[in-house]
């Protein structure tokens, strides 16, 4: 296998956000002799259709042309609306795993092609290799495991990977900051982006209540695992699996949210030990090389972006996958993604539909 890099002198579009990672991505490509275009996405409905002065200053410093891509309508329909709907159904979604294949590496790359750049680079900490033995592009974790973002990229297909580049994949975050400082850009970039990019002023609960309003089910019972009501909740959208704070039920030992039951508007609680489960159902699966390694295989499976991957047996089917961990895992959450790894390589992943056992 060989690292996937743009061809000599190929024009590359870089998705710029104003952060150090996208800045250094553009810098590295320019140093390698590639013509570079900067693309800045407008995504949130409330955002003005113009970039910030900071982004203008950054791209001017890098001497790259800046193009603004207004994707607010598509982002609203394909990312925000499914995000809100998932919470309404008692799930906890991760919007980045939807945005990447549908918006950033699809619609944004199409815009790049219109501007004469068939290639798109981003500041993700991940790596792509080309396997000449079978013609597949393969996705791997970034060298910096503390910043690795491969979890969010499992939804990319072969066409997208073929025209995508991650120049930071072989770099540590500390090295990226040093490169920015050496280039005189240390004072320009903004702080690390927040976890959910389209929720700025308030927390996600306020955001959901604003968007759902009367569609929210409202207050309901809090039950323990023996079906005893021990309290009331303020709406299941305010809770997630594994949550301890904010339940508001006095007890000698803390309660944890162990289940959300939207059909009956129940928040189910238990002890910390009750959070540990072994088996789950996964749907909407994407395989990086178009198919699973085999109908039944062993893999390391990661069920949240900050979860330590763990060994499991993966049974594949036509529309859904059953994952059985060798050891119970804590707070497996419907709506999050299960991503399958072989050592450092991403095999694929999908959305956790429900916990089986």
Tell me the per-residue pLDDT of 103-149, one tens digit each, with 9 for 90 and over: 999 999 999 999 999 999 999 999 999 999 999 999 999 999 999 99
pLDDT at 163: 96
With vertex at residue 343, the alpha carbon angle to CA 145 and CA 169, rounded to the nearest 5 degrees, is 40
pLDDT value of position 34: 96
Q: What is the DSSP letter of 196?
A: S
Q: Which of 99, 112, 216, 301 is catalytic?
A: 99
Helix or strand run (H / E) with residue 99? helix 96-99
Tokens of 175: 């090295």
Query: pLDDT per residue over 314-354, tens digit each?
Result: 999 777 899 999 999 999 999 999 999 999 999 999 999 99
Q: pLDDT per residue over 6-50, tens digit each?
A: 988 899 999 998 889 999 999 999 999 999 999 999 998 888 777
Given the residues 66, 68, 74, 197, the one annotated as active site: 197
User: What average pLDDT does the segment 149-172 reach?
Assistant: 98
Q: Which residue has better confidence, 188 or 135?
A: 135
Q: What's the CATH number of domain 276-355, 2.40.30.10, 2.30.30.30, 2.60.40.10, 3.30.465.10?
A: 2.40.30.10
Residue 193 has pLDDT above 60, yes or no: no
Q: Can you give the pLDDT at residue 344?
A: 97
Of residues 204 and 120, more confidently modeled: 120
As separate numbers, helices (DSSP H) first and strands (DSSP E) second, the chain gives: 9, 18
Question: Within 10 Å of residue 232's Cβ, how many Cβ atoms?
Answer: 12
Cα–Cα distance measured from residue 280 to residue 314, given in angstroms and rounded to the nearest whole number? 10
In the chain, domain spans = 2-182, 217-270, 276-355
Compute CA 118 distance to the chain's CA centroid, rounded to the nearest angstrom.
24
CATH number given to 2-182: 3.40.50.620
- Residue 259 neighbours by CB distance under 10 Å: 19
Bridge pairing between strands 119-121 and 164-165: parallel
Q: What is the DSSP letter of 308?
A: P
The question of whether 96 is a catalytic residue gets the answer: no
65 neighbors 38 (Cβ within 8 angstroms) = yes
Residue 194 has pLDDT above 60, yes or no: no
The size of the chain, in residues, is 357
d(Cα 31, Cα 22) in Å, to the nearest integer?
Answer: 14
Quick one: pLDDT band at residue 198, thresholds 50, 70, 90?
confident
- Tell whether domain 217-270 is in CATH 2.30.30.280: yes
Prediction pTM value? 0.93
In DSSP notation, 22-34 reads HHHHHHHHHHTT-
Nearest to 160 by CA among 114, 205, 220, 120: 120
Question: Can you name the residues that pair with 260 across neighbouring β-strands?
Answer: 267
Answer whether 356's CB lies under 8 Å from 338's CB: no
Q: What is the pLDDT of residue 217?
A: 79
Q: Mean pLDDT over all residues of the chain?
A: 92
276-355 matches 2-182 in CATH topology: no
Task: State the DSSP code for 63.
Answer: T
Which tokens hold the place of 18? 């104003």
DSSP H or E segment with residue 13: strand 12-15
Identify the residue with better confidence: 270 or 250.
270
């Amino acid at each position: 296998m060989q690292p996937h890099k743009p061809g000599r002198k190929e024009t590359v579009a870089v998705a710029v956000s104003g952060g150090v990672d996208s800045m250094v991505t553009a810098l590295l490509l320019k140093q390698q002799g590639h013509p570079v275009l900067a693309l800045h996405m407008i995504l949130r409905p409330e955002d003005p259709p113009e970039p910030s002065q900071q982004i203008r200053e950054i791209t001017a410093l890098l001497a790259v042309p800046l193009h603004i891509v207004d994707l607010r309508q598509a982002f609203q329909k394909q990312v925000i609306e499914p995000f809100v709907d998932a919470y309404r159904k008692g799930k906890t979604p991760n919007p980045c795993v939807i945005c990447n294949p549908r918006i950033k590496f699809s619609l944004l790359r199409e815009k790049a092609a219109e501007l004469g750049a068939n290639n798109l680079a981003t500041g993700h900490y991940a790596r792509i290799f080309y396997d000449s033995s079978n013609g597949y592009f393969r996705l791997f974790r970034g060298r910096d495991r503390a910043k690795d973002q491969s979890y969010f990229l499992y939804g990319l297909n072969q066409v997208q990977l073929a025209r995508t580049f991650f120049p930071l994949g072989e770099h540590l975050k500390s090295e990226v900051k040093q490169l920015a400082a050496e280039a005189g850009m240390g004072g320009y970039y903004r702080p690390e982006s927040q976890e959910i990019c389209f929720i700025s002023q308030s927390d996600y609960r306020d955001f959901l209540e604003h968007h759902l309003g009367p569609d929210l089910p409202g207050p309901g019972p809090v039950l323990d695992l023996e079906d005893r009501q021990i309290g009331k909740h303020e709406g299941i959208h305010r809770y997630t699996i594994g949550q301890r704070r904010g339940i508001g039920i006095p007890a000698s030992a803390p309660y944890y949210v162990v289940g959300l039951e939207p059909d009956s508007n129940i928040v189910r609680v238990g002890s910390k030990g009750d959070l540990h489960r072994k088996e789950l159902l996964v749907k909407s699966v994407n395989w990086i090389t178009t198919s699973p390694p085999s109908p039944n295989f062993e893999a390391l499976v990661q069920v949240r972006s900050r979860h330590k991957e763990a060994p499991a047996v993966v049974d594949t089917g036509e529309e859904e996958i059953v994952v059985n961990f060798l050891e119970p895992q804590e707070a497996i959450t419907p709506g999050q993604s299960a991503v399958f790894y072989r050592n450092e390589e991403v095999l694929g992943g999908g959305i956790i539909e429900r916990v089986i056992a």
